[in-house]
Structures are given as structure tokens and as C-alpha cells.
Chains A and B, each alone.
Chain A
Amino acid sequence: DQQVKQNSPSLSVQEGRISILNCDYTNSMFDYFLWYKKYPAEGPTFLISISSIKDKNEDGRFTVFLNKSAKHLSLHIVPSQPGDSAVYFCAARDNYGQNFVFGPGTRLSVLP
């Protein structure tokens, strides 16, 4: 049973445009969500996080939106750059501090 879902295995976006990566979850006890970026042959790198008491968090070109009622979060990258091409993982953890649960990832390709 996949608790964190990223239903789009891949996404292609033109350079300069907005990239929107989506993530859905099923466990209502999750209260902390993160996005990681992963390049080939490297470990995941933390991008941005959001607590369940917020609905938006922004850091430079990256913004994460959380819709708790829909159990949905999204990562917006504006403007997209070729260096953003990577696999993006959504992760979640519940307030009992249990382990992180990761989604299967979405491969983003930003075309020049």
C-alpha cells in the first residue's frame, strides 16, 4: 500500500516556464512533508519542506503548496532551468517521528 504517490513518472517543461510536480498521500497522520531532488550517481538533496499547519512555503524559485483536505501537495519551480532536470521525490512523516515515507519520484526534464 503506497502511502505517498507521485502519479507522473516523468514531466517535460520548456526552460523559463513553470514546472509543477504533484504528490498525493493517504495517511492523515502525516504532518511534515519534504521535497528532494536527485541527480544520477548522487544522493537526494533536500529542497524544501512544509509543516501541516501551513499551506504554502516559498524558497527562491521553489514553492510548495499543501492542501490537507485533498491530501495533496505540489512543488512549483519558477522559472525552470536546465539544471533543474533531475528526479524529484516527495516524502512525508507523521507527528510521532516515525520514518520518512518516500514517493516513487518524478523525472523532470527542462528543455532548453
Chain B
Amino acid sequence: KAGVTQTPRYLIKTRGQQVTLSCSPISGHRSVSWYQQTPGQGLQFLFEYFSETQRNKGNFPGRFSGRQFSNSRSEMNVSTLELGDSALYLCASSPTTGGEQPQHFGDGTRLSIL
């Protein structure tokens, strides 16, 4: 069974640009969550999508947005990039939302802002 796939693996952008990251969940998984990981901050929750609807949102500015398609694939967009947006962005999927089930993570997209 293929795992969670994130593309691209690495990305370099400059301040002010925008970026779109992609996540393909495990087949059959309908919930997709996004996290930002920076040194010393652990994983910070961005948002969760389930059945094409945003279910939860973390404490991030509106420059961070996402969407989910009917095939459960998800994209995350960051506009007007800032230096502080440099981080590892992780996507995680699970069969449904809530309940006692772990999330399965992809290997992340490393975003560097110059």
C-alpha cells in the first residue's frame, strides 16, 4: 500500500512569492492534515480537510490556505512568502476524522525562503 506522497520534496522561493504544495493521501484515507515543523517548535497544526471541507484550522495567518479535491488529494498554498515561512511542511492522512486512529505522515516538503 503506497504511503502519503508529498511533492515537491524541496522548494526554494524568495520573499513575496507564493507557493503550492501537494499531498496525495493513502488510498482510502479521506482526512488530510497539514503541519509546519520548525527547529525547536515541534509540529504546528495548520489545518485539516475531510471530504473536501476544512474541518479544523490552526493559529496561522490567512496567507496559509488549503483545499481538498474529490479524490482526497490536498494542496496547501502560502502567499506573500516571508523568511519565517522556511520550514518542513508535513502532510498526514487518516481514514476518517476524529476517533482513535493515528495519522500517517508523508516525508514532507522542505521550503526555503531566500
Q: A-side interface residues toward B, CB under 8 Å?
A: 32, 34, 36, 41-46, 49, 51, 89, 91, 96-105
Interchain nearest-CB distance for A87 vs B (Å): 9
Q: Does B84 reach chain A (CB closer than 8 Å)?
A: no
Contact of B104 (CB < 8 Å), options: A41, A46, A91, A102: A46
Q: Does B42 reach chain A (CB closer than 8 Å)?
A: yes
Once A and B bind, how many residue pairs between them come within 8 Å at the CB atom? 49
Q: Does B33 reach chain A (CB closer than 8 Å)?
A: yes
Q: Which of B14-22, B68-76, B92-100 contacts A (4 or more CB under 8 A)?
A: B92-100
Residue ID in chain A nearest B3 by CB atoms: A43
Contacts of B97 in A (CB 8 A): 97
Q: Are B40 and A99 in contact (CB-based, < 8 A)? A: no
